[in-house]
Amino acid sequence: MKNIVKKEVWVMDHFSIKFILYKIKNGDTICCIAKKFGITIEMILEANKNKSPRQLTVGDTLRVPIIVFVEVLHRERSW
């Protein structure tokens, strides 16, 4: 996708949350962006608390959270 500007990653215990900076294009809505990335509107709004959805314009960027589940392998210690 050419609208992705930057990627950011947070790693948790069993999943990581990647934030993609998405550049808004003509015709985009919060709903269609959420569907495009398989997330909820609420997740986009939470990641962009400082932006009003009603004031977004073409060319603005949104942080879009992407959740990636990771397998955690535990290693037993031998004492």
Query: What gap in Å lies between CA 2 and CA 19, rounded to an integer?
Result: 15
For the beta sheet containing 4-11, the strands, ordered from the edge strand earlier in sequence to the opposite edge, are: 4-11, 15-23, 61-69
pLDDT of residue 38: 92
Instruction: Compute CA distances 54 → 1, 29, 30, whole Å.
Output: 24, 10, 10
Residue-by-residue pLDDT tens, the chain, 79 positions: 566 666 655 555 666 778 999 999 999 999 999 999 999 999 999 999 998 888 899 999 999 998 877 665 555 555 4
Predicted TM-score (pTM) of this structure: 0.67
Query: What gap in Å lies between CA 34 and CA 30, rounded to an integer?
Result: 6
pLDDT of residue 24: 96
- Sequence-ordered strand ranges (E) for the chain: 4-11, 15-23, 61-69
